[in-house]
Each structure stands twice: as C-alpha cells, then as structure tokens.
Amino acid sequence: MTANPINLFEYEQLAPNHLSKMALDYYSSGAWDEITLRDNRAAFERVKLRPRILADVSQLSLKTTILGQTLELPLLIAPMAFQCLAHPDGELATAMAAASAGVGMVLSTMSTQSLEAVADIGQKFPHSLQWFQLYIHKDRGLTRALVERAYSAGYKALCLTVDAPVLGQRERDRRNEFVLPTGLHLANLVSMSGLNIPHAQGESGLFTYFAQQLDPSLTWRDLDWLQSLSPLPLVLKGILRGDDAERAVEYGAKAIVVSNHGGRQLDSAIASLDALPEIVAAVDGKVEVLIDGGIRRGTDILKALAIGAKAVLIGRPILWGLALAGQAGVSHLLSLLEDELRVAMSLSGVAQVRDIDPSLVTDISGNRQ
C-alpha cells in the first residue's frame, strides 16, 4: 500500500487520489442536498456509551450468527454496484477479503463481476456467507432467471432492495452524466439480456436505467411470487418504519435491513440508527434486524448492536479500501474494524456479542435506552 491508513476515515481521505471524478462522485454522493447522507453519520455521534466496569473481558468473542450461519464478527459487506470502478478485480477482491475475514457479503444485482464468479470464491471457504441483492426488473422472466442463478450458485439468501421504486436524484451523477467506462458492464445482465447503463444526455445513465428497466409497481403482494421462485430466505433491505417492519414479518421475511440506501434515495429520510429502536420493537424478536448507513468505527457497531441490531453492513469504506489496494485494502479495513470492536467491547465491559444490551447506550437525547 502506498499509504498506511489507521482508520476508515483516513481511507476515505486517500481514496480520491485513486479514483476518477465520475467514480468518486458516484460512490460518495447522496441524494439532493445530502442531508440524510450526513445525518447517518451524525446519528452515531449523538448516541453515547455507558460502560460497565470490573467485568472479566479476558476471553473476548466477536462471533454471532445470522440466519443460522456463524460470522467471525457481526458484519456484512453491503451490496454496492460497479466495484470494478474502484479496482479491476472489483467484487472478486471484496469477496475474497470478506470470506477470509469470516464476514458476510451481499452481492449487488448491478455488479461488474458475475454472481457465479463471486460465488466460486465463496465456495473455497466452508463457512462463507454470501447473499444476493435483487432489484425486480419489469421483465419478470429476467428476475426469475437471476433468482434461479443465485440459488444454483449457492447464495444463502435473497436481499430484496425495497426503497428504490425509482432512483434517487444524485446531482453529482447527473452533472457527470454517469455511465460505465468502456470495458465495464452489468456482468449479471449483459449475458442474458444485453442490458447496460445507457449514456443519457444531461442525466445520470443509472437514473435512466432504473426508469427504463426496474418495476415501480412492486407491492407487498409480489413477495409471495418472489418467494415461490426458490427456497432462499428473503431479507428486505430499506425499511425505516415499524409498521413496514411488521408487514415484512407477516409476508415471510426472515430478516430486515434498516437502511436509507446510504442517503442515496429519499433525502431528508430518517437516519438508519434513529429508525432502529422502533423497528426492533415492532418485530419483537420474530426476525433478525440488521442496519447500514454511517458505520465507521468499532464503537458504531457496538452502539447498533446495543440498540438491537444483530449485525451491521458497511458500504462506502469497502470501496475506499478497494481503490487504495484491492483485496489487501479491504482486508486491512476489515481488520481495523475488528480490532476497534474488540477494544470497544473490552472497555464497555462485555466479553461476548450476546452480552451487548440497551443499557450500554444513551438515546439521542442523552437518556438511557
């Protein structure tokens, strides 16, 4: 590595030196005024820790289980499109780093490496956890084929993104007229349908793709159809309300990801962490709850788990690691988070992930949870 970052913020500071302006703006931008993008981070800073003292933390364990499968720490890599913009190996490098570290990976429908190639890496690790993130296309035959391919390749769950009936307005992408550079394509789609990101005059090509190809008519009733396509458990990503979480349980979801799409969809939407307590209460232990958005430190993971998440997902920092050093950068970044979580748990008086509880944190007003 050309630099030696010691935390995720330093990775972010160095990443612009390794990315084109179009790639950097695509990865880093949020919707409209980027209020939610900023608030995702601020929400974690508002919550404070209440450490226990004189607790035996000599035998620390970060292990947890998600949908019955063990992870070495309560972390998954969020689905992110176009990772080859950051490094030629893209999603393959991310998959190798994730599997080596014992964390989960959610592969995007819009990946620049094929779902089969990424799954092949996971198969080399007996306990690898890989989920496939799904967008429902207007062409339901195409959607069916994607699900069947994911199941056949060995993915452990379908992660349906539910907060994108249309794409949020990301003005930096619009100004750049975002399009994939020559040589990159939608690896999961081009072989089946020839689909790729179009060049759109005065607009983001991705915005145009969503408008042309994705199905804005999707409703709760379509979940039965989706679940009929394979035996894979369904995870719904993009829930911010307790009543929606309750409906997710009713319609058979096995897990929920509390998410505002990294501040990239509806600007001024509630920060993921602020939405978490209501959703945890609403599902009342019936399904596992995960969260993404703004997680940059081991203390952030600890706070999310204390409020009730079973695990967290991280997104943009992975791209910064890829940009700096490919697989080595992602692996180093994951090890930094693991080390920080170890220290945070030790100093908070908890030796096991299962011992993390709401008494460890205040709410945003400074009160105990």
- What average pLDDT does range 81-90 have in this prediction? 98
Query: Which domains does the chain carry?
Result: 8-303+324-356 (3.20.20.70)
The reported pLDDT for the residue numbered 1 is: 43
3-class secondary structure per residue, the chain: CCCCCCCHHHHHHHHHHHCCHHHHHHHHCCCCCCHHHHHHHHHHHHCCECCCCCCCCCCCECCEEECCEEECCCEEECCCCCHHHCCCCCHHHHHHHHHHHCCEEEECCCCCCCHHHHHHHHHCCCCCCEEEEECCECCHHHHHHHHHHHHHHCCCCEEEECCCCCCCCCHHHHHHCCCCCCCCCCCCCHHHHCCCCCCCCCCCHHHHHHHHHECCCCCCCHHHHHHCCCCCCEEEEEECCHHHHHHHHHCCCCEEEECCHHHCCCCCCCCHHHHHHHHHHHHCCCCEEEEECCCCCHHHHHHHHHHCCCEEEECHHHHHHHHHHHHHHHHHHHHHHHHHHHHHHHHHCCCEHHHCCHHHEECCCCCEC
Give the model confidence (pLDDT) of 156-169 as tens digits. 999 999 999 999 99
Q: Inter-axis angle of helices 140-153 and 115-123, to 10 degrees?
A: 20
Q: Which pLDDT band, with edges at 50, 70 and 90, does 3 fall under?
A: low
The reported pLDDT for the residue numbered 193 is: 86
Per-residue pLDDT for 57 more than 80? yes
* Known active-site residue 261: yes
Range with the poorest average pLDDT among 139-153, 189-203, 243-257, 263-277:
189-203
Per-residue pLDDT for 2 more than 90? no
In single-letter form, the type of residue at position 219 comes to T
Maximal C-alpha separation, the chain: 63
Give me the catalytic one of 18, 87, 261, 332: 261
How far is the C-alpha of 7 from the C-alpha of 285, rounded, in Å? 33
The reported pLDDT for the residue numbered 363 is: 76
Per-residue pLDDT for 366 more than 60? no
Q: Which pLDDT band, with edges at 50, 70 and 90, does 364 fall under?
A: low
The reported pLDDT for the residue numbered 202 is: 94
- What average pLDDT does range 137-158 have in this prediction? 98
The reported pLDDT for the residue numbered 181 is: 96
Tell me the percentage of the chain whose pLDDT exceeds 90: 96
The reported pLDDT for the residue numbered 267 is: 98
Pairing of the two strands 75-77 and 311-314 = parallel
